[in-house]
Amino acid sequence: MSPRRHILRSLLATTTLLGGLAAAQVYPAKPVTLVVPNPPGGFVDASARLLSEPLSRVLGQSIVVDNKGGGSGNVAYGLVARANPDGYTLLTSYSAYHVGNPALSPKLPWAQKDLAPVALVTVATNVIAVHPSVPANTLSEFIAYLKANPGKLSYASQGNGSLSHIGTEMFKGQTRTSMVHIPYRGSGPAVQDVLAGQVQVFITTPPSVMGHIQAGKLRGLAVAGKARHPGIPNVPTTDEAGLKGFELEAWVGIFAPAGTPPEVVAKLSSSIKQAMEQPETKTRANAAGIEIRYLPPEALDALVKRETTFWAKTIREAGITAD
């Protein structure tokens, strides 16, 4: 390489670096939108709203929560994947959509490579909840009833391919029971029909059902995690209730369109960490039944890769489809 070309390439690299740093220094210069792939209500929407207020204070700009439910999350994912990679349109990603949808359909309007990891923000174990009309007070009684009445009860999910869908199919497989699947467009409408008794079973995250369990409107049979949930301490874990090894955890992470400047991603990630560490954020999370768990971009990327492999195998073995 000639000395002149080497100098020009060095100048170009320096200019690009300085441009990126300048962009990060002025970012954000306008409101940032968090696109949510679910209707209002439920774990994913609650996580976005939990983050929006403290993140707005950290960044000094408004954070707009934009619910774009539909298509098992694919409407929102496709929108963010095609958005300008400038850090102003972000995805509040739900684990089942992010790692499950690619295994459910080869023709998605997005791909994982279209989305850059920014930060993991929250996790939640799932709760096995039933309408009080179900003649079972314990998980063992519930499983016995299902075996004696195959196909009599129906279960709600947040949509085809959601964690509540995949997780309940796992539950059916492990317990060798049968229930009819009724998919909804998110937790909000699903919970309403479960409360009305039109659908009797919902395996979902605590924000959707915890208040109803506390009020006696739904019956919590078990928490599908390693420990009891502090908001519903009388509900045993699945291990304690006799269903060994059945655990179901959902997560929510923030992703940007691929190609977003690394400096902007880094600023967003550190700002999210700061926002989630604020005492009032933790207090609100505890009240909503959400666990805050921050991971930086590299760790979130590794989590996505691990879970994509696991859920692809689970979906294939359970015979779950997007239809």
Q: Are residues 20 and 114 in the same domain?
A: yes
pTM: 0.80
Q: Is 183 inside any structural domain?
A: yes
Range of 204's domain? Answer: 125-224
Q: Assess if residue 209 is contained within a domain.
A: yes
Q: Label each residue of the chain as H, E or C.
A: CCHHHHHHHHHHHHHHHHHHHHHHHHCCCCCEEEEECCCCCCHHHHHHHHHHHHHHHHHCCCEEEEECCCHHHHHHHHHHHCCCCCCCEEEEEEHHHHHHHHHHCCCCCCCHHHEEEEEEEEEEEEEEEECCCCCCCCHHHHHHHHHHCCCCCEEEECCCCCHHHHHHHHHHHHHCCCCEEEECCCHHHHHHHHHCCCCCEEEECHHHHHHHHHCCCCEEEEEECCCCCCCCCCCCECCCCCCCCCCCEEEEEEEEECCCCHHHHHHHHHHHHHHHCCHHHHHHHHHHCCEEEEECHHHHHHHHHHHHHHHHHHHHHHCCCCC
Do 298 and 216 share a domain, yes or no? no
Q: What are phi and psi of 258, to 5 degrees?
A: -55, 140
Same domain assignment for residues 119 and 254: yes
Identify the band that residue 1 occupies on the pLDDT scale cut at 50, 70 and 90: low
- Asked whether residue 131 falls in the same domain as residue 214, the answer is yes
7 and 119 inside one domain: yes
Dump pLDDT digits (tens) for 24-48. 569 999 999 999 998 888 889 999 9
The CATH number given to whatever domain includes residue 43 is 3.40.190.150
Establish if 239 belongs to a structural domain. no
Domain membership of residue 56 (yes or no) is yes
If you average pLDDT over every residue of the chain, what do you get?
Answer: 91
- Which stretch of 41-50, 123-132, 314-323 has the lowest confidence by average pLDDT? 314-323
CATH number, domain of 203, equals 3.40.190.10
| Residue ending a domain, choose from 189, 207, 224 | 224
Q: What is the pLDDT of residue 277?
A: 97
Looking at the fold, whether 152 and 190 belong to one and the same domain comes out as: yes
Please give the pLDDT value at position 105. 84
Helices 163-175 and 297-318 pack at an angle, to 10 degrees, of: 50
Q: Are residues 193 and 269 in the same domain?
A: no
pLDDT at 15 over 70: no
* Domains identified in the chain, total number: 2
**Contact (CB, 8 A) for 142 and 172:** no
Does 112 lie in the same domain as 76? yes
Residues 268 and 189 in one domain: no
- pLDDT at site 287: 86
Q: Which of 224, 240, 263 is the last residue of a domain?
A: 224
Q: What does the pLDDT look like over 216-255, one tens digit per residue?
A: 999 999 999 989 998 899 999 999 999 999 999 999 999 9
Residue in the block written with tokens 């005492």: 279
Round to whole Å and give the CA distance between 198 and 214.
Answer: 20
In a domain, 37, yes or no: yes
Q: Do 115 and 255 fall into the same domain? A: yes
Q: Please indicate, yes or no, whether residues 78 and 9 belong to a single structural domain of this protein.
A: yes
pLDDT band at 18 (very low <50, low <70, confident <90, very high): very low
Asked whether residue 235 is domain-assigned, the answer is no
Q: Using a pLDDT cut of 90, give the percent of the chain over it.
A: 73
Tell which of 224, 242, 269 closes a domain. Answer: 224
Q: Render pLDDT for 82-113 as a digit per residue (tens, 0 to 9).
A: 999 999 999 999 998 999 999 988 789 999 99
Per-residue pLDDT, 256: 98
Phi, psi of 84 (to 5 degrees): -60, 125
In this structure, is residue 245 part of a structural domain? no
- Does residue 88 sit within a domain? yes
Q: Is the pLDDT of residue 122 over 50?
A: yes
| Same domain membership, residue 112 and residue 67 | yes
Dump pLDDT digits (tens) for 202-214. 999 898 899 999 9
Q: What is the pLDDT of residue 11?
A: 53
